[in-house]
Structure 1
Amino acid sequence: MSRLQQRTVFITGGSRGIGRAIALACAREGANVVIAAKTDTPHPKLPGTIHTVAEEIRNAGGQALPLVLDVRDERQVRQRIDEAAGYFGGIDALVNNAGAIRLTGVENLKVSRYDLMHQVNARAVFTCSQAALPWLKESGGHILSLSPPLNLNTRWFSQYGPYTTTKYGMTMLSMGMAEEFRRYGIAVNCLWPKTLIATAAIEHEVGGPQLMAQGRKPEIMADAAVSILSRSADELTGQALIDEDVLRQDGVKDFEHYRYAAGDKPLLPDLFLD
């Protein structure tokens, strides 16, 4: 039986990259998938919209609901989550995937950009989780945030502390919610890649196409997310997990098919991992 059969998964930032990959993987496992993102119309430089991902899912025989969502708008967040729950009859999982990145220190970062990262990263975990809570109480569901383990090595603060603090904020909120919501049977975990993942954020914000060749495809994060979402709160909650570790626990030994580019270039570890 499919691991997520008839469960409804609400994914923020689901129009491309890791969010799209998670949406497709959940659909393959039988889930109803809500693709919630700002991208309603095609971007001139970036492929994918909420509608193209929904079409991919439907063409594969799955159930999808595309919803325009700006995670900074708390009223819209509540409306969209309730709309999705009404459409599918509830919500079983929330994936906090939407993210904003700028690897710049305090001296040269605009306040508006810091506000954006805070709102799309840490604050959105709060607003989306709070809005989904009534539905997750009913389902005994799962909250999964794409954020890293807490690593206080100063190297992760010295060059781009603003971004680091917003990503760590996601993890700290998740750790708190894991304990706060334990009495409801809701699992709350975080997931982070062991290696760089080849996405538009890497290409346009970090290091360009050459770095992508030393990364993995988003599908490794998607497969790890499905594994986590298929487990109960009794089995797994309050953890900051690494994609490869999750899949190794599932018995996966060969990770070569996840490489973005063929070859023997060494894979680059992702941020926040020593």
Structure 2
Amino acid sequence: MNDTQTANSGALEGKTVFITGASRGIGRAIALKCAHDGANIVIAAKSAEPHPKLPGTIFSVAEEVEAAGGKALPLQVDVRDEEQVRAALEKAAQTFGGIDAVVNNAGAISLTSVEATPPKRYDLMQDINSRAVYLTAHLALPYLREAANPHILSLSPPINLQPKWLGPFAPYALSKFGMTILSMGMAEEFREAGIAVNTLWPQTIVATAAIEFAVGGRELFEQSRKPPVMADAAYEVLSSDARALTGQQLIDEAVLKQAGVTDFRGYAHNPDNADKLAIDLFLDE
């Protein structure tokens, strides 16, 4: 078993997965992982035009999804805009006949204190992180209720209220913990409907644009894993029985170990540093 094939291979064939922020990074990796199963991938992101520093658009990922064996629907969506999200979900359901899973991957980050966070940046993080989890779930619910094995998966951390995580960047922590609190609440709210709601967070830093530009620079990649580690873990969650796995604050490494993965060296950005990786934010070990 490796980072491209796990025990549940084929479980998402013909399923429709709506992924926010899927034009690059972890969202793109999840899209391609599900596409290998023959899933229908809705690439819901803002990036319709190439960025000079950030490769990837909804259209380039759509091409990759099709090449990987999936069907793609690229949609330019700002997750802060109710009408854009509503229209994207409607288009997805019309195109593919329904929606089976929603992955809340779009995110905004600023590791700044209350004093150092401008109001616009604060609002951006709350809107793109926690509010978008509410909004996508609220609007996707009618479609998920009709699905055979529906999932909502949000990329947010386990709740950890230690001062060392709150003091330096409380605004960001609030936005990410808000995603998790909403997810835990929705898991109970939607339990009888059979809709699984879980969160997923990386054990180690993952090499993405957020790390390069908002956290510590590209040198941190040497202590990071690549996005497929989160994609493979997300796949395991999305292909699980929705009534059996819900209300959990999951960590990628633990999910993959449970699925039988024993060798994680291939996930490391630099395999020579596979034993020297940095633990991600909000985790104590």
TM-score range, shorter chain: over 0.9
Deviations 1:153-204 (A, max 9, x none): 1110010000000000000000000000011110000000000000000001
Structure 2 unpaired stretches of 5+: 1-8
Given that residues 190 and 240 in structure 1 are in contact (C-alpha distance below 8 angstroms), is that contact kept between their aligned partners in structure 2? yes
Indicate the residue corresponding to 1:195 in structure 2: 204
1:232 to 241, 257, 269: 241
1:62 is displaced (CA, Å) by 1.7
1:233 is displaced (CA, Å) by 2.1
Indicate the residue corresponding to 2:279 in structure 1: 269
1:103 to 83, 91, 111: 111
Indicate the residue corresponding to 2:83 in structure 1: 75
1:83-98 matches, cutoff 5 A: 83-98=91-106
Task: Show structure 1 runs of 4+ deviating over 2 A.
Answer: none
Check if 1:11 corresponds to 2:19. Answer: yes
Structure 1 unpaired stretches of 5+: none
Q: SS of the counterpart of 1:100?
A: coil
Q: SS of the counterpart of 2:85?
A: helix
Which amino acid in structure 2 is aligned with residue 135 of structure 1? Y
Check if 1:62 corresponds to 2:70. Answer: yes
2:29 to 11, 15, 21: 21
Given that residues 37 and 70 in structure 2 are in contact (C-alpha distance below 8 angstroms), is that contact kept between their aligned partners in structure 1? no
Indicate the residue corresponding to 2:258 in structure 1: 249
Distance in 2, Cα, partners of 1:12 & 1:29: 19
Indicate the residue corresponding to 2:58 in structure 1: 50
Q: SS of the counterpart of 1:21?
A: helix
Indicate the residue corresponding to 1:213 in structure 2: 222
Indicate the residue corresponding to 2:146 in structure 1: 138
Distance in 2, Cα, partners of 1:61 & 1:169: 35
Taking structure 2 as the reference length, the TM-score comes to 0.95
The number of equivalent residue pairs is 274
Given that residues 22 and 226 in structure 1 are in contact (C-alpha distance below 8 angstroms), is that contact kept between their aligned partners in structure 2? yes
Check if 1:129 corresponds to 2:167. Answer: no
Check if 1:147 corresponds to 2:189. Answer: no
Deviations 1:233-273 (A, max 9, x none): 22100001000000000111000000012323610000000
Q: SS of the counterpart of 1:124?
A: helix
Given that residues 182 and 233 in structure 1 are in contact (C-alpha distance below 8 angstroms), is that contact kept between their aligned partners in structure 2? no
Distance in 1, Cα, partners of 2:97 & 2:283: 39
Distance in 2, Cα, partners of 1:92 & 1:61: 18
Deviations 1:82-122 (A, max 9, x none): 11111000000000000000000001110000000000000
Given that residues 41 and 72 in structure 2 are in contact (C-alpha distance below 8 angstroms), is that contact kept between their aligned partners in structure 1? yes
Which amino acid in structure 2 is aligned with residue 57 of structure 1? V
Which amino acid in structure 1 is aligned with residue 279 of structure 2? P
Indicate the residue corresponding to 1:112 in structure 2: 120
Q: SS of the counterpart of 2:140?
A: helix
Q: SS of the counterpart of 1:138?
A: coil
Taking structure 1 as the reference length, the TM-score comes to 0.98
Indicate the residue corresponding to 2:3 in structure 1: none
Distance in 2, Cα, partners of 1:261 & 1:168: 30
Distance in 1, Cα, partners of 2:50 & 2:21: 14
Instruction: Give the CA RMSD over aligned residues.
Output: 0.9
Indicate the residue corresponding to 2:45 in structure 1: 37
Distance in 2, Cα, partners of 1:261 & 1:209: 12
1:33 is displaced (CA, Å) by 0.5
Deviations 1:38-91 (A, max 9, x none): 000101110000000000111223211100000000111011011111100000
Distance in 2, Cα, partners of 1:153 & 1:138: 40
